[in-house]
Amino acid sequence: MIKNIVIDFGGVLVGLKKENCVAEYHALNMDVIGQYINDYRSEDLFNDLELGKIGINEFCEEARRQSGVNATDEQIKHAWLVLLTGVPQKKLDKILELRKHYRVLLLSNTNAFHWDYSVEHYFKDLNLYFEKVYLSYELGMTKPDRKMFEFMLQDAGIKAEETLFLDDSATNCKAAEKIGIHTWHIGENEDWTQRNFEDL
């Protein structure tokens, strides 16, 4: 019996449009940075950001170094921010509905810059939607590392077999399944808000 719903942020809640981001970096002659986005690469620069090893200012410095372009911090931040397209109201409404029947948590690989912007612009009150939030840059670990899932289970005091995890990454879902968590791999453009969770 499912008692807990764990939701990923990027691609499940917030819309992501990588072509916007790639185009902005191309306009800045920073294609080497845009290529990280285009290839879904997370090593080095972006991985350090998601792990909380560097902040947005260090990110900008490294982006300039790698590209050899003297763009401003604001230009680089804007190019990185246009990746996010917002959180549809129907998804927020669905979470409020789910909270009536389940413990709802968020588990995300993200960075402080994107997260702070999202909290300010997409959620009126984060506590309305999630009982607990687990973010890679705060924990110093990222999915699909099983330690991130294990930490969440222990910290929230929930059982894997009673938990359903929604993520747009098949790799992350497989990692969660290995420790007994039920998963739902959200396909591209799949509208998960229309499903009856009690039937899953």
Band of residue 133 on the pLDDT scale cut at 50, 70, 90: very high
Band of residue 200 on the pLDDT scale cut at 50, 70, 90: low
Catalytic residue among 8, 48, 167, 168: 8
Q: Which of 38-47, 49-58, 74-83 has the lowest mean pLDDT?
A: 38-47
Active site residue 116: no
CA nearest neighbour of 7 among 144, 127, 186 = 186
Average pLDDT of the residues in 105-113? 96
pTM: 0.93
Element (H, E) at 148: helix 146-156
Average pLDDT of the residues in 1-5? 95
Q: Which pLDDT belongs to residue 197?
A: 81
CA nearest neighbour of 10 among 84, 76, 80 = 84
Between 17 and 41, where is the model more confident?
A: 17
